[in-house]
Structure 1
């Protein structure tokens, strides 16, 4: 019951460098990688270390990155918080059972977000069609966008690869979610775009806006299922 299965005979993605994901507020972030190019994975023992670069450069690294709404319209990702405050969650992929749980955790706090004038957004590394399937299946009340080129994930240096996907804690969490009634969408999970690239990214979450450079909080998942502290998220967005 893993969130990103391999098809029979299909090689695993090239290994080896995983970048850190940890909540940061006014701290340092990894330097941006070229868009549309998956980052190599480094020694998994260094998964908790982040390359140094100023927070002020985060919005700059996202300039030129576009995501797509459910109608297929391209939207600059920074426009999602340019004129408003928003919580922007990044899913592992649209079929992921762990992401469905996180979507519910966020939706459960949506009344507080709306009272504070904060928009709830979810981005996934997949196609518009996959995003529509996720939206229809989960009835997610926030906005949903697709990032088929994974460019926002690369710019934010989210963890990528086997070492951050297949972990004991992630496996235990998946078992727990199945006991709670959550289910993986295996059809979406086995689509080629997920198996070969998109499904090997870990996600994260940021709170930003109004203003492109106004990044208030960021969490990068160190491994599958590494949820942010919701109290910290609410403090960043709604206090």
Structure 2
């Protein structure tokens, strides 16, 4: 479910870049608002599919003055492999101990929310579109999407009720447009 938030400070934390360097989260939204996407476990068919949707819309996000960053539960090497395998043009960061996931209160799910029979058809469709990886990480972790302005405030978020739910791209753009005007570039 998506929410517009009024002045909720983004938690502080450190992510791992592909080169192994520690990156303070605040550096990611210092110059432009940030669309911060937390992925489920590595290999999640829904997350792979959503990462591809973010890639397809990346130019649109940049026209709406948004930086995009994807966070996975792995380290530097996994972040690099994930980005390269999907040919993502935005950065992927690792959070191997899930400290930043916990700081943002990214929800965890029940067995019903992550693998219930009501998700199987959507899973089959996502598998057909995007393939599957080997599950690694916290299989009960759900995803989470956060829009952070340059003042470090979370202005919009999306917390799913199941592993298949991700925010509609248009809703992200509407939320982004409340921050800055659309670029003509």
Rounded to whole Å, the distance in 2 between the matches of 1:122 and 1:108 is: 14
Partner deviation per Cα, 1:147-203 (whole Å, 9 max, x = no partner)? 0110121122222243421223332211112233x21112xx2x4xx2xxx332111
After TM superposition, the score normalised by the length of structure 2 is: 0.87
Deviation of residue 58 (structure 1)? 4.2
Count of matched residue pairs: 177
After TM superposition, the score normalised by the length of structure 1 is: 0.68
- Structure 1 residues 76-155: aligned runs within 5 Å: 76-155=24-103
Counterpart of 2:163 (choices 218, 224, 231) is 224
Deviation of residue 99 (structure 1)? 0.7
Richer in strand (by share): 2
- Counterpart contact for 2:40–2:143, Cα < 8 Å: yes
Root-mean-square deviation (CA, aligned residues, Å) is: 1.8
Give the number of the structure whose alpha-carbon radius of gyration is greater. 1
Rounded to whole Å, the distance in 1 between the matches of 2:89 and 2:118 is: 29
- Counterpart contact for 1:70–1:145, Cα < 8 Å: yes
> Which ranges of 4 or more aligned residues in structure 1 deviate by more than 6 Å?
none
Partner deviation per Cα, 1:50-84 (whole Å, 9 max, x = no partner)? xxxxx54442xx12x21111011111223211331
- Structure 1 residues 171-182: aligned runs within 5 Å: 171-180=120-129, 182=130
